[in-house]
Structure 1
């Protein structure tokens, strides 16, 4: 198996996942000796993932063999490109000199409630970056072509200066692109600066495929693929999960428990929170999944000196 895994790694091949029953091989006709395993699977390299982003591999029912057939449909009909746009704070925006100033101005301009203030800041940042992108209109391709032209010229002081400036600008764009993909991969072990774009692209594509929810099981056990019905199932599930059911009185139970908290410890536990909020925010992985407003831990960590007071007050009020 070690040699087999090495072959997959050397050939840049990754598991395509599946739909249908989790197993592909079955043996034994009674409950005591029945065995299920997933022995058969599809693999592909990065170029194939890019060619067929909407594929689906399905485990089919089988009767003649103890292995089930695998059906690979390169056009599953579940398009991952048809998704609703929503705001996301991009880590690469921090490379812009005006980013911090823009956040500060937006945060101080609006005087409403905390959540409304965050929403206003998000909309402002989105408009700010669209303006920045429109003004620059410089891409990696433009800079690469310019660098190639300069390298073909007879070197002079001016040309060498242009080459240096172009390299700096190109590295800046590469850093921005690296951060963009790293934020989508959310990798813990690969650090920013490793310059492994192939890794980023492959794993971002895999995450995108695996995160595409193609169906949910309702309370009756039926698989539902309609998007509105899936939203309803998800809402009902989490509403039920976080609701109290048949709550009981714990006073009689707690009367039998010996107290072990000293008065000093109790006073400490009852005291107001202060720096604990920032400690919690600081301990979060900066590029992990953002909440529904598109603001991840990185945003609060980087701009805590601007909005930290209001964030802490909001969290403490909830607690």
Structure 2
């Protein structure tokens, strides 16, 4: 461990600190054998910290693993990341549609800025907005429609209609 600390000192790395639960790894044992430790750290040089002064490490929630993921994000982006409502997620069904690739490609063009980080953030936002809009137009509310159809099917089966009218 001392060798690792010496390497951090030699490279001039500083710990970025964190927000959230103080530990990132749990051995998931019961009783006195349960151990929580902060395994993950974000480090950077002083120059990097001066270039990105609002950046912070966030320990995220994770219920299906013994290891909490960490996220490096600027405070300005934190508001966007932690906004209320459902988080943006890519649906597997989108990948089966050829038009999805065109939407993604279009989202990553036509943005020019001197700051590369700014370009990346704008492209990611564009990607999310464009895919969400495309999803509403192309697929509508698939989960709602599926739930309604399954409910209709259940009612039809209960009423005995499936045998006489499979539609």
Q: Into which bin does the TM-score normalised by the smaller protein fall? A: 0.3 to 0.5
- TM score, norm. by length of structure 1: 0.23
**Normalized against structure 2, the TM-score is what?**
0.43
